[in-house]
Amino acid sequence: MREVTVAAVQMKCCADRKKNIEHAEHLVRQAAGKGAQVILLPELFEGPYFCQERRYESYALAKTAEENDAVRHFSKIASELQVVIPVSFYEETKNSMFNSVAVLDADGRNLGIYRKTHIPDDHYYQEKFYFTPGDTGFRVFDTRYGKIGIGICWD
């Protein structure tokens, strides 16, 4: 049986998306330096959790995986450090927006996307205002260090 070291990053996010990505990178490097091979970043860590209020201007935060700053940034970091990094992001497609994770393998390749399936609907979480239920099904990704499945929050 193979032994794999996994780390989960916990951090406070500010309004400056660039600073959040830089802070997350610092924590990823710290985890990798301690031997982590799979490093999970927080849900929608590029900024403060925006889904507690209905604000139309927040729709502008959604991007494709190819355009998303965090996905592009951590693709390079995953390759450099030879670690697997699942990156949570607000995804835009042609017709919908999703709460998604791009699974970046240790060579920086995006192995694919998982889209959050179960979207909460109550007065503390306005996620149905922002997200369509995922259409990827529950997936397992074959990474350099082993197979991993992704679930987001209520999944």
pLDDT bin (cut points 50, 70, 90) of residue 129 is very high
Q: State the pLDDT at residue 4.
A: 95
Q: Which of 46, 51, 91, 116 is catalytic?
A: 116
φ, ψ dihedrals at 137, nearest 5°: 70, 170
Mean pLDDT (whole number) for 147-152: 95
**Angstrom distance (rounded) from CA 41 to CA 12:** 12
The strand pairing partners of 6, in sequence order, are: 38
Q: For this structure, is 43 an active site residue?
A: yes
pLDDT of residue 124: 83
Q: What is the mean pLDDT of residues 2-13?
A: 95
- 14 an active-site residue? no
**Residue 13 catalytic?**
no
Closest CA to 99 of 84, 114, 110: 114
14, 43, 80, 128: the catalytic one is 43
DSSP code, position 84: B
The model's pLDDT over 20-60, given as tens digits with 9 standing for 90+, comes to 999 999 999 999 999 999 999 999 999 999 998 899 999 99
Q: What is residue 132's predicted lDDT score, i.e. its pLDDT?
A: 95
Place of tokens 């951590």: 74
Reported as a single tens digit per residue, the pLDDT across 51-105 is 988 999 999 999 999 999 999 999 999 999 999 999 999 999 998 999 999 999 9
If you write DSSP's letter for every residue of 88-139 in order, what string do you get? EEEEE-SS-EEEEEEEE-TTS-EEEEEE------BTTB-HHHH-PPPSS-S-
Question: Which amino acid, residue 47?
Answer: G
Residue 99 near residue 90, CB atoms below 8 Å? yes
CB 82 within 8 A of CB 106: yes
Return the number of other C-beta atoms located less than 10 Å from residue 113's C-beta. Answer: 21
